[in-house]
Structure 1
Amino acid sequence: MGKGIFQKMLDGELPLPRAAATLGAKIIEVDPSAGTSIIKFDGKEEFTNPVGNIQGGFLAAMLDDTMGPALTAMLDENEFAPTLELKINFIAPARVGLLTGFGHVISKGGTVCVLEGELKQNDKLIARASATALIRKIK
């Protein structure tokens, strides 16, 4: 991974990961020095539950794909940090349409990292997340 990966995606040199592409992700900003990210997602009709809201699992995936880039941008090119634990608080229902994720690295240790994220729709808080990730070397 590494610091240049997100710029390469923005420049069209690298494709988005398939999971992020499925979610309609668009990288808006990743700041390695601040450990932050802003990612927009397309809440698709295909993601809805029987009452027409975006199903919680898709919102969780969006939050994971928001927090991950904030940390990944801080890692060395030979490192990756899979999520070990993910906790979601669903605050309000999400409708079909644009959602914006805000990710933040709270703590980056030698191997264990703590992350937080928020998902908003029309400036309304939809869900909050916290996660623990483990830095690993890519072999």
Structure 2
Amino acid sequence: MVTRPPSTEEIEAYAATFRNFPRPTSAQLLGFEPVEIDVPGQRMVIDFVATDRMLNPAGKVQGGILTAMMDDTMGPLAHIMSGGKMMPSTTDIHTQFFRPCDVGAYRCEARVTRMGRTLCYTSADLFNGRGQKVASAIQTAMMLPFAPNGGK
């Protein structure tokens, strides 16, 4: 079945409801707080908070946590850009780390690189509270049909 892509108006209407979505426990753990959704620019900004529960043995934020912050920005962006009709399932994520990270505030900026009917390519940059880039990621996600509450 071939479906048409959602219009910009449909995506913007769906994006406007995003702040009211229930937060999954992983997002709660990461301190997930939406900042900006730029539909025409296919871009999203989310703030996160790293706590002392996220530290590795060296006393720095564990790299998987930083990757999760970027994943938790790229995934919702892909979902929103589908007008809420598709849910991304990550098939590949590649992360580069640039500096050790401490407990504190982080901001992630994600962009859609290309969105097709079945695959979405995104990228993200993660910044610490001083505005320094601490990590970047690129992601490929398979877009699967989405029905809220299992279609019930």
Q: TM-score, normalised by structure 1?
A: 0.89
Q: Which structure has the larger Rg? A: 2
Aligned residues: 136
CA distance in 1, matches of 2:40, 2:118: 18
Please say if residues 14 and 83 of structure 2, whose CA atoms lie closer than 8 Å, have aligned partners that are also in contact: no
Letter of the 1:133 partner, please give it.
Answer: A
Partner SS, residue 17 of structure 2: helix
User: In the alignment, does 2:131 pair up with 1:123?
Assistant: yes
Equivalent position to 1:29, from 36, 42, 60: 36
Equivalent position to 1:134, from 134, 138, 142: 142
Counterpart of 1:94? 101
CA distance in 1, matches of 2:16, 2:34: 9
Instruction: Quote how far apart the aligned CAs of 1:16 are.
Output: 1.6
Equivalent position to 2:73, from 56, 66, 75: 66
Answer with 23-32 or 95-104: which moved more: 23-32
Letter of the 1:124 partner, please give it.
Answer: Q
Equivalent position to 1:110, from 110, 117, 127: 117
* Relative contact order higher in (CA < 8 Å, ≥ 6 apart): 1
Q: TM-score, normalised by structure 2?
A: 0.82
| Greater share of residues in helix | 2
5+ unaligned residues in a row in structure 2: which ranges? 1-9, 148-152
User: In the alignment, does 2:24 pair up with 1:39?
Assistant: no
Please say if residues 38 and 101 of structure 1, whose CA atoms lie closer than 8 Å, have aligned partners that are also in contact: yes
Instruction: Let me know the Cα RMSD of the aligned residues.
Output: 1.7
5+ unaligned residues in a row in structure 1: which ranges? none
CA distance in 1, matches of 2:47, 2:113: 21
Instruction: Quote how far apart the aligned CAs of 1:6 are.
Output: 5.0
Equivalent position to 1:85, from 85, 92, 98: 92
Partner SS, residue 135 of structure 1: strand
Query: How many percent identity over aligned positions?
Result: 29
Instruction: Quote how far apart the aligned CAs of 1:136 are.
Output: 1.1
Partner SS, residue 84 of structure 2: coil
CA distance in 2, matches of 1:77, 1:104: 17
Instruction: Quote how far apart the aligned CAs of 1:33 are.
Output: 2.3
Equivalent position to 1:56, from 44, 63, 73: 63
Instruction: Quote how far apart the aligned CAs of 1:5 are.
Output: 5.5
Instruction: Quote how far apart the aligned CAs of 1:8 are.
Output: 3.1
Please say if residues 79 and 85 of structure 2, whose CA atoms lie closer than 8 Å, have aligned partners that are also in contact: no
User: In the alignment, does 2:17 pair up with 1:8?
Assistant: yes
